[in-house]
Structure 1
Amino acid sequence: MKKIIVGSGYKALAALMLIAFLQRGVAQQIASGSEFSKPNIIFFLTDDQRWDALGAAGNTIIQTPHLDRLARAGILFQNAYVTTSICCVSRASLLTGQYEAYHNIHDFSTDLTPEALSQTYPVLLKNAGYRIGSIGKFGVGKNPPHSIYDFWVDTEEGGKGQPDYIITGDDGNLIHDTDTLNNAIQRFLDEYGNNDKPFCLSVSFKAPHEQDGHPPEYIIQQAYKDYYKDITIPEPVTADPKYWQQLPDFFRTDTNFARARWRGLFGTPALFQENVKNYYRLITGVDDAVGNTMHKLRELGLDKNTIIIFMGDNGMFLGEHGMEGKWYGYEESIRVPLLIYDPNTPDKIRQYKASQIALNIDIAPTILAMAGVQAPKQMQGINLIDLVQNKLPERNEFFYQHYFLGGPRIPKVEGVVTKEFKYMNYIEHNYEELYDVKHDPHETVNLVDNPKYKSQLSALRKKYRNMQKIYGVSAGKRAKARTPSQL
């Protein structure tokens, strides 16, 4: 069993130099007195929550009343995506506002460099006079930057991998990860809620990620064991075996991670029912933790000046196409829930269902803008509030990339996603997929060889080549050869 780690532990010389730099920046901000009028910000992140696992997104089975309430009072993004669907890369993109090829996190062991860390949203907010806290799984590298934070609760035990769902708490008793985080949020708000500085708290739940194992499993809080028990979960359209069978030979192997995990979690109708319900139960547990947070904010008189952002770090196959997991470019994998609740949001964007494409790389610049802090030029995302207020042009497409491991376990893929079409290229095999997602939202028919879509395929291939030059790995290497001021 793992114990919670709170506080220090990042002793590298480069990190100490960074801390000294931060302290100078904070002192300058305090001297100016500019931090006192700034909003508090809480960023909730779930692990593997797909876009439609939320009541506000139209799911009539899952119970997420607190998040639904925030979505109704704020902005619900209906087309939110990640640029790489795996937690280590996506979390680095959330922190830095950059595509994978630019932040250079391609695996679970690489840390952000001190220079890259200094340009993440928590550090930039600390420079601007914010108290910053991190609760839960940091998720990037082996040496999380404990000591730059004012408040730190690490259920990952110092970057050693996925946290366990059941750990030993401070009192020596066993406790579920969601309850651990819920308790830590309450402690943080008690300590920093009535401080003379604004705060930014980043909360990362393990839920609803499976507990790794053979087979993997979803370990729920016992309080939720009877939720959904009398409901039959409908099987997805593409759970039909024919959709796995129509995939190419290099993909359709037992060594494909998504297929291997499918067998243990969704390989029979009984497993499907049990594990989708457990997935939902974990999300309902998170929803209650969010509700407890909102109650605490009201109790402390902070609810009128605290912005809430909620997002998933990537999506999740729940049996679609005969798979469990993420990684590939299908909607279930790359599309995530995203809502922003600001109690001081202008009326014209309250209760707003935003159709614009939003990305994980937009979170950092959006948080900074809300705090009145200038985003560095290296950030490739945009301020989503400006987007929904039509102060920025709508994004028509984005580049998708996933390079971790490679075939046969996780074949590498790149592509272009638009609102109407999706083009994916499995780069190790030059195998292409083209889907008309507007008319075929379940991505059942690959249109690459359909002559009726020749013009669309040609246009997307061209976009892909152009975007690959900008956002692909070689582009990132060229960018890192330049100085930050040149980016």
Structure 2
Amino acid sequence: MSAPWINKGSFAFSLPVCNRLICFCLTFALVGSGFNAFAAEPAAETKASERPMNVLVLYADDWRHDTLGVAGNPIVQTPTLDKLASQGMRFTENCVTTAICGVSRACLFTGQWMASHGCNGFSAFKTPWEQTYPGVLRDNGYYVGHVGKWHNGKFPAEQFDFGRSYYGRHWFEMPDGSKVHVTQRNENDALEFLDSRPKDQPFCLTVAFFATHAEDRSPLQFLPQPESMSLYQDVEIPVPDNANDESFHRLPDFVANEANEGRNRYHWRFDTPEKYQIMMKNYYRLATEVDSTCGRILRELRSQGVLDNTLVIFTTDNGYYHAEHGLADKWYPHQESIRVPLIIRDPRMNKDLHGTTNEDFTLSVDLAPTILSAVGMQTPSSMQGRDLADLYAGDREKSKPWREEFYYEHPTIRDKNFIPRSEALVRKEWKYFYWPEFDREQLFHIATDPHEEKDLANDSAHAAKLQEMRARFKELKDEAATEAKSS
């Protein structure tokens, strides 16, 4: 499948060339200056409707669904992303199908559950490259870039026209001896991609931020840029009601012990009030820095006259415990771990929908088919997600019913005492957990117990519900392991 706008002579891999200096400025300065990345674009010679749509994926790390001002967070400042939501749609029940960096990224690229793409941690996924969204786009004439975190085995630089992968640290020493923060490096590379890209080709750029992921080897964990340290100085970060030992000991005993890695990281970050404030303020500073970089990237798109012909997606790889249940990090099927932000700004979206929210279950596996459908490409049959445009650009009455439940899966990491395998059937009102290595079931009534504190699995009053969900869980688990699904 090819299009008349393909320039077959422009597929040479782009070598790193530092040809510009990018100045760092703070979000609070950005807000005060009246900066607007979404102002009307300069006039373009070619009408947007006559040009192939571009794609920008802004992919942050370790942000849960409420790490956004527009989501009601009273502390964190995310003006760019709040504005992006006002120019598109925000999906409030968006979830990942596996809440860990490597597997979730494989789900993003392949549109598949872990059981199908075969990445059970941080190795390369087994799905052929030509069945991923960057692979399909590049094969069909797109100039394709990836900057930042990869975490799926060796970075396949040869599969990108512009590819740079780095993560794991917040500060990097560059060849010239200077030190640059990972988020600033993401920004520099993204802007270089946009500056150097062939202007006669459509493009797809994935900006894979490392922030707000902790630098695990540092006792400070979260290391923002010095200019950000004045942010949040005079605020008190609220501590969740269930960030306590009582909640921790309500977990199954194979999680509620000091050998569990979620508990270990809780002690790194959250086990004293003073430590909690330091860690959370630095975590939010990292988030605001990502928001600022998103603003500069969007501003560059606007200055080039292509923002209003670009599908913009902001999302993250997994949620995050902010000490809820006495845990830190992610992995398990609790709401804090599996729910993540999703904002889509699609040029095809009716303006009446701008600034609205959608409460359907949308998933990480939906993004690859959504991207390909938006630009008119055929979705590989291997992709298991659905085109989200059905929720905002199609006729809902004519579309097949949207999902009301989904299967969640997470692999064992290292061994069952470190991070045990977990699975779940997730619905709006109910959630069924299964811990395969311990043959343990849990049942939660989310509607009345949103923090998942009261396990009803052994309550005879809910025996019928447990049996029904157990059976449906097995059906969805089998479906997730199918290698292909007709589009």
Q: Provide the residue aligned with 1:17 in structure 2.
A: none
Q: CA deviation at 1:117?
A: 1.3
Residues in 2 aligned to 1:171 and 1:295: alpha-carbon distance in whole angstroms: 28
Q: CA deviation at 1:470?
A: 2.0
Task: Give matches, 1:136-151, under 5 Å.
Answer: 136-141=148-153, 143-151=154-162
Q: Which digits, 9 at most, give the CA deviation of each residue in 1:412-459, with x for residues without a partner?
A: 111100111111011111111111112221112111122332232222
Going from structure 1 to structure 2, the CA distance change for 1:173 and 1:31 (only over 3 Å counts) comes to: closer
> AA paired with 1:393?
P
Residues in 2 aligned to 1:185 and 1:380: alpha-carbon distance in whole angstroms: 29
Correspondence 1:395 to 2:400: no
Correspondence 1:175 to 2:184: no
Residues in 2 aligned to 1:63 and 1:214: alpha-carbon distance in whole angstroms: 25
Q: Provide the residue aligned with 1:421 in structure 2.
A: 430
Task: Give matches, 1:313-352, under 5 Å.
Answer: 313-352=317-356
Residues in 1 aligned to 2:79 and 2:425: alpha-carbon distance in whole angstroms: 34
Q: CA deviation at 1:302?
A: 1.5
Aligned partners of 1:75 and 1:349 also within 8 Å: yes
Q: Provide the residue aligned with 1:448 in structure 2.
A: 457
Q: 1:185 aligns with which of 187, 190, 204?
A: 190
Q: CA deviation at 1:348?
A: 4.0
Q: CA deviation at 1:172?
A: 2.5
Instruction: Answer 1 or 2: which has greater helix percent.
Output: 1
Q: CA deviation at 1:73?
A: 1.3
Q: 2:71 aligns with which of 57, 61, 66?
A: 57
TM-score, structure 2 length as denominator?
0.87
Q: Which digits, 9 at most, give the CA deviation of each residue in 1:339-360, with x for residues without a partner?
A: 0012442234322201110000
TM-score, structure 1 length as denominator?
0.87
> AA paired with 1:136?
G
Partner-residue secondary structure (3-state), 1:456 = helix
Going from structure 1 to structure 2, the CA distance change for 1:439 and 1:486 (only over 3 Å counts) comes to: closer
Correspondence 1:465 to 2:474: yes
Q: 1:38 aligns with which of 52, 69, 73?
A: 52
Q: CA deviation at 1:240?
A: 2.4
Partner-residue secondary structure (3-state), 1:377 = coil
Q: Provide the residue aligned with 1:11 in structure 2.
A: none
Runs of 4+ in 1 over 3 A off after TM superposition: 25-29, 484-487
Q: 2:132 aligns with which of 120, 127, 151?
A: 120
Partner-residue secondary structure (3-state), 1:395 = coil
Partner-residue secondary structure (3-state), 2:256 = coil
- Gaps spanning 5+ residues in structure 1: where? 1-24, 157-162
Residues in 2 aligned to 1:177 and 1:431: alpha-carbon distance in whole angstroms: 41
Partner-residue secondary structure (3-state), 2:475 = helix
Q: Provide the residue aligned with 1:438 in structure 2.
A: 447
Aligned partners of 2:56 and 2:204 also within 8 Å: yes
Q: Provide the residue aligned with 2:382 in structure 1.
A: 378
Correspondence 1:309 to 2:318: no
Q: CA deviation at 1:190?
A: 0.9
Aligned partners of 1:74 and 1:352 also within 8 Å: yes
Aligned partners of 1:214 and 1:264 also within 8 Å: no
Residues in 2 aligned to 1:263 and 1:308: alpha-carbon distance in whole angstroms: 37
> AA paired with 1:147?
E
Residues in 1 aligned to 2:152 and 2:422: alpha-carbon distance in whole angstroms: 21
Q: Which digits, 9 at most, give the CA deviation of each residue in 1:203-235, with x for residues without a partner?
A: 000000000126461111111111111111111
- Gaps spanning 5+ residues in structure 2: where? 9-48
Correspondence 1:97 to 2:102: no
Q: 1:364 aligns with which of 361, 368, 376?
A: 368
Correspondence 1:48 to 2:62: yes
Q: CA deviation at 1:189?
A: 1.0
Q: Provide the residue aligned with 2:14 in structure 1.
A: none
- Matched residues, percent identical? 38
Provide the aligned length of Structure 1 versus Structure 2: 443
Aligned partners of 1:29 and 1:127 also within 8 Å: no
> AA paired with 1:447?
L
Partner-residue secondary structure (3-state), 1:463 = helix
Q: Provide the residue aligned with 1:207 in structure 2.
A: 211
Q: Which digits, 9 at most, give the CA deviation of each residue in 1:108-140, with x for residues without a partner?
A: 2x2234x62111000101112110000001121
Residues in 2 aligned to 1:329 and 1:363: alpha-carbon distance in whole angstroms: 21
Aligned partners of 1:433 and 1:446 also within 8 Å: yes
* Alpha-carbon RMSD: 2.1
Partner-residue secondary structure (3-state), 1:195 = coil
